C-alpha cells in the first residue's frame, strides 16, 4: 500500500500567534499532520492530508477522496479578522458523516456479468472494470442466445430495425455436440464441424458497413486476434452468401443524412456507385468532395 500526501499551504499575514522557539513542529491532528513555520512577517500553516493510493498492476485503481464544497476563502478570512471564530467551540461528540452528508456511492457488481464490477489485486488494491455492449450481451443470453434485431450501426451511426451484422473479433468452427441439429450433423460429415461461431463487440446494419468499420478498427489497433477484422468480415460474408460477388465497402459515414450528409439511407446502401474522397477542399467550413464512380 502506498500513502501519498497532498499538501495544502495557507499563508496568513500577521494573524497567527508566534510559533514556539522550535520551527517546523509537527503534531498529529485527527489523523492528519499540521506544520507551522515562521518566515519573517508571514505565518504559514501547512496541512498534509494522507491519501491512500493502491498499487496498480492491472486495470484501474480507485482512490477514495472527498471535496469540501461551499467554502469561500475570502469570506473565511474576513470572518477570521473580525473575530467571528472566537466564540466557536470544538464539538465534543463525533459527527456521523452518513447522517450529515448523503453518500452517492456507485453500485458495482462482482464479476463480468455486471456492466461494471470491482475486485482486489494481490496487493489489496481495488480494481474497477467496465464492460461494453452490456445491453445487447444481456439480451442475447436472456433470450436463449438469440441475437435481438435492431440497433445503431457502428459505421454510419444510424438506427436500424432488422437483424444486424456483427463485426467479428474472432470466428472459429464449432464441433458436433448433443445440441447440434440434423442439418448440422449432415454438414459436419463433409467438413468436419457443424457451424462457425462469430464473436463480435460492435454491430452494423449491413456487411458493407461492417467491412468499413472493421477496416477502421484494424487501423486503430483494436484487433486482438491474428487475423484482421476486415478479413473476418469478408470470410463471414462468404459463409453466409457463398455465391455472392465480392463484398464492397460502405460509403463514407459522413455522407449519410444521419451525419448531416447529402445521401439518404436508400442512396447510402445502394451498390451501383461508390464515392472517392478527393483532396479538394471548400473552406469556411471545410467540405470534402467525393467523386462518383461506377463499380
Which one is predicted more confidently, 11 or 71? 71
Q: Residue 156 has what pLDDT?
A: 95
Residues 6 or more apart whose CB falls under 8 angstroms from that of 53 comprise 1, 2, 3, 4, 61, 63
- Residue 52, pLDDT > 50, answer no
Distance between CA atoms of residues 62 and 64, nearest Å:
6
Q: What percent of the chain has pLDDT above 90?
A: 24
Question: Would you call 218 helix, strand, or coil by DSSP?
Answer: helix
Question: Which pLDDT value is given to residue 249?
Answer: 92
pLDDT grade for 279, boundaries at 50, 70 and 90: confident
Check whether 229 has a pLDDT greater than 90.
Answer: yes
Residue in the structure block whose three cell numbers are 436500424: 160
Pairing of strands 151-152, 126-130: unpaired
Q: How far apart (Å, rounded) are the C-alpha atoms in residues 179 and 121?
A: 39
Helix (H) or strand (E) holding 217: helix 207-220
- What is the pLDDT at residue 102? 55
Least trusted range by pLDDT, from 79-88, 157-166, 211-220, 237-246: 79-88
Distance of alpha carbon 140 from alpha carbon 152, whole angstroms:
16
Query: What is the enclosing helix (H) or strand (E) of 212?
Result: helix 207-220
Average pLDDT score over residue span 69-90: 78
**Residue 124: left (phi > 0), alpha (psi -120 to 50), or beta?**
left
CB 13 within 8 A of CB 80: no
The string of pLDDT tens digits covering residues 109-129 is: 888 888 899 988 888 888 999
- Nearest CA among 201, 51, 193 for reference residue 135: 201
Among 142-146, 148-152, 208-212, 233-237, the range scoring the smallest mean pLDDT is 142-146
Give the pLDDT score at 207: 94
Domain ranges for the chain: 144-250, 251-295
* pLDDT tens profile 250-272: 999 999 999 999 999 999 988 88
Short-list 164, 231, 237, 224, CA closest to 196: 237
**Calpha distance 268→289 (Å, rounded):** 16
Q: Give the other-Cβ count within 10 Å of 250's Cβ.
A: 24
The whole-number pLDDT of residue 28 equals 40
39 has pLDDT over 60: no
CA nearest 277: which of 254, 248, 243, 246? Answer: 254
Rounded CA-CA distance 55/82 in Å is 46
Predicted local distance difference test score (pLDDT) of residue 250:
95
Residue 200 has pLDDT above 60, yes or no: yes
Q: Are 266 and 256 in contact (CB under 8 A)?
A: no
Amino acid at each position: 500500500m502506498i500513502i501519498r500526501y497532498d499538501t495544502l499551504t495557507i499563508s496568513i499575514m500577521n494573524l497567527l500567534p508566534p510559533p514556539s522557539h522550535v520551527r517546523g513542529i509537527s503534531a498529529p491532528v485527527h489523523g492528519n499532520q499540521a506544520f507551522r513555520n515562521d518566515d519573517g512577517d508571514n505565518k504559514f500553516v501547512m496541512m498534509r492530508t494522507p491519501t491512500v493510493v493502491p498499487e496498480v498492476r492491472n486495470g484501474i485503481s480507485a482512490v477514495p477522496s472527498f471535496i469540501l464544497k461551499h467554502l469561500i476563502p475570502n469570506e473565511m478570512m474576513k470572518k477570521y479578522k473580525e473575530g467571528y471564530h472566537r466564540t466557536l467551540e470544538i464539538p465534543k461528540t463525533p459527527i456521523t458523516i452518513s447522517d450529515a452528508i448523503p453518500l452517492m456511492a456507485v453500485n458495482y457488481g462482482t464479476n463480468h456479468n455486471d456492466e461494471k464490477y470491482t475486485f482486489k489485486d494481490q496487493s489489496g488494491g481495488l480494481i474497477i472494470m467496465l464492460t461494453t455492449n452490456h445491453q445487447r450481451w444481456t439480451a442475447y443470453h436472456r433470450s436463449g442466445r438469440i441475437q435481438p434485431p435492431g440497433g445503431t450501426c457502428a459505421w454510419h451511426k444510424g438506427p436500424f430495425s432488422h437483424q444486424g451484422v456483427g463485426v467479428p473479433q474472432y470466428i472459429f468452427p464449432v464441433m458436433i455436440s448433443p445440441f447440434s441439429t440434423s442439418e448440422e450433423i449432415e454438414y459436419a460429415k463433409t467438413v468436419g464441424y457443424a457451424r462457425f461461431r462469430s464473436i463480435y463487440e460492435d454491430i452494423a446494419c449491413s456487411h458493407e458497413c461492417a467491412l468499413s468499420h472493421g477496416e477502421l478498427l484494424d487501423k486503430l489497433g483494436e484487433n486482438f486476434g491474428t487475423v484482421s477484422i476486415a478479413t473476418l468480415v469478408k470470410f463471414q460474408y462468404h459463409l453466409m452468401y457463398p455465391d455472392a460477388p465480392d463484398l464492397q465497402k460502405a460509403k463514407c459515414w459522413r455522407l449519410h443524412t444521419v451525419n448531416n450528409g447529402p445521401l439518404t439511407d436508400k442512396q447510402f446502401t445502394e451498390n451501383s456507385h461508390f464515392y472517392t474522397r478527393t483532396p479538394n477542399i471548400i473552406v469556411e467550413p471545410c467540405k470534402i468532395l467525393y467523386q462518383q464512380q461506377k463499380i
